[in-house]
Amino acid sequence: MYNIVYIPGDGIGPEVVNAAMRVVDAAGVACNWQEAHAGLGTFEATGDPLPEATLDAIRGAHATLKGPTATASGVGFRSVNVAMRQKLQLYANFRPARSIPGIKSRYDDVDLIVIRENTEGLYSGIEHTVVPGVVESLRIISSKASERIAKFAFDTARRQGRKRVTCVHKANILKLSDGLFLESCKKIAADYSDIEFDDCIVDAAAMKLVIDPHQFDMLVMENLFGDILSDLTSGLVGGLGVTPSANVGDDAAVFEAVHGTAPDIAGKGLANPTALVQSAVLMLRFLGEKEAADRVENAIRQVIAEGTSLTGDLGGSAGTEDYTKAIIAAMG
């Protein structure tokens, strides 16, 4: 029995979280689901978008499944996602992008992974006004965090049978900070002679991904570059509505949908839960439930390929309920 925290989030969050939980239960994995709260609704109700009780619950669970959370203009709190990653030291963001038959995109056979350092860079949030009209933001890069994320990337590559890890950087311009990140990756790469290593400047990597994503296998990079390129790679296979995300640390792991809260359709039963169900697949693999994870992932791909029970954003007319039922039925 796994103790799993679920965070409904805002907007369509409760609907997609409910769908993902039902699919996990239908896969035969015994879970003790514990509800916790974060986001704009939590801020409005309690004055705190990320209560300490939620952080404690995540620390005490085997894993956490999180719906999308919102902010609002003029509301003075940091991104819940950034704060959660830093407070829980969820230093590794894992974003696979794999083509799904039935989803039209430029390429049919993309299969790559972006590994993003989650705790440093410009998202450290260290900024101040120097003089009126001038703001300074500090971009923090340390050898400790850089070597840690590089090791995570190589360990993941070895575990998943990946052949090559590419360090994405801007060391030609940011010679100290990105120079340190690149050197840290090279240092770790020396311990993995079975995996090819190379590097690519970030703007060139963006261009190459658009021209031919098959040039890459696994990419590792600092925080801001990872935020941008992981969305780009999602776009290569259908967008944020169908791609998963995992945030992993030494003591906690949070699996989430990184798309928006879609307030215009919230509560209408129209939301597409694919991204969070895919994230639940990553959660099951993290827990060691490989067979259940494969069953869920294969069911998603079968339902989308058949095309008869798709939500509106995927080109169909089904609602969240019918689409979720179709995935469960496809699992047998």
| Residue 231 among the catalytic residues | yes
> Which of 56, 108, 109, 203 is the catalytic position?
203
| Residue 123 among the catalytic residues | yes
> Which of 155, 217, 231, 322 is the catalytic position?
231
Helices (H), the chain: 13-26, 40-46, 52-60, 80-87, 143-160, 177-189, 202-211, 223-235, 274-286, 290-306, 320-330
Q: Cβ(138)–Cβ(177) under 8 Å?
A: no
Judging by beta carbons within 10 Å of its beta carbon (0-12, 13-18, 19+), is residue 105 exposed, middle or buried? middle
> Which of 123, 151, 199, 323 is the catalytic position?
123
Angle of helix 223-235 relative to helix 202-211, nearest 10 degrees, comes to 10
Q: How far apart are CA 15 and CA 275, in angstroms?
A: 12
Please choose, from the candidates 4, 22, 157, 126, the residue with its C-alpha nearest in 3D space to the C-alpha of residue 66.
4
Q: Cβ(217)–Cβ(166) under 8 Å?
A: yes
> Which one-letter amino acid corresponds to residue 143?
S
> Which of 10, 227, 323, 325 is the catalytic position?
227
Q: How far apart are CA 152 and CA 161, in angstroms?
A: 14
- Sign of the four-CA dihedral 246, 231, 125, 70: negative
Q: Cβ(223)–Cβ(122) under 8 Å?
A: yes
> Which one-letter amino acid corresponds to residue 55?
L
Give how far the C-alpha of residue 311 lies from the chain's centroid of Cα atoms, to the nearest Å.
Answer: 22
> Which of 66, 91, 151, 170 is the catalytic position?
170
Cα dihedral angle (320, 326, 330, 332), rounded to 10 degrees? 100
Please choose, from the candidates 113, 111, 110, 116, the residue with its C-alpha nearest in 3D space to the C-alpha of residue 96.
113
| Residue 192 among the catalytic residues | no
The catalytic residues are 123, 170, 203, 227, 231
